[in-house]
Amino acid sequence: MYLSSDVVNEIVNDPGSLKLGGQEKRITAFFTDIESFSTLSEKVSPEHLVYILNRYLTVMSDIVLEQRGTIDKYIGDAIVSFLARRLIFPTMRSTPAKLP
């Protein structure tokens, strides 16, 4: 599990805020992956595929951590994460987002 530095600092500064058994909160669950990754992986060289994955996973992980999110796991090209506060995405897209 990967936590933002802000979340780590909160835990270090106030360890008493952690409770065994957890807390009920409204959160944002955030799941990402690369559309048609399997097809893509068959069309590019292994080196280029590693470049694409490294770029994608780095950019998306940075976004999650900048929002004080927690990355639960990586599964191939997918990221499973959540944010402790509920976010509203005003510009939800029906088309895939492009990496910068």
Own/partner long-range contacts of 49-54 (Cβ < 8 Å, ≥24 apart)? 53/77
Other Cβ atoms less than 10 A from the Cβ of 29: the count is 9
The number of residues in the chain equals 100
What percent of the chain shows pLDDT beyond 70?
84
pLDDT value for 98? 57
Do residues 28 and 72 make contact, with C-beta atoms less than 8 angstroms apart? no
Homologous superfamily of the 2-8+25-83 domain (CATH): Nucleotide cyclase, GGDEF domain (3.30.70.1230)
pLDDT one-digit tens code per residue, 51-95 = 999 999 999 999 888 888 889 999 999 999 988 765 555 454 444
**37: confidence class by pLDDT, cuts 50, 70, 90:** very high
76: left (phi over 0), alpha (psi -120 to 50) or beta: left
| Res 19 pLDDT > 70 | yes
| Res 14 pLDDT > 60 | yes
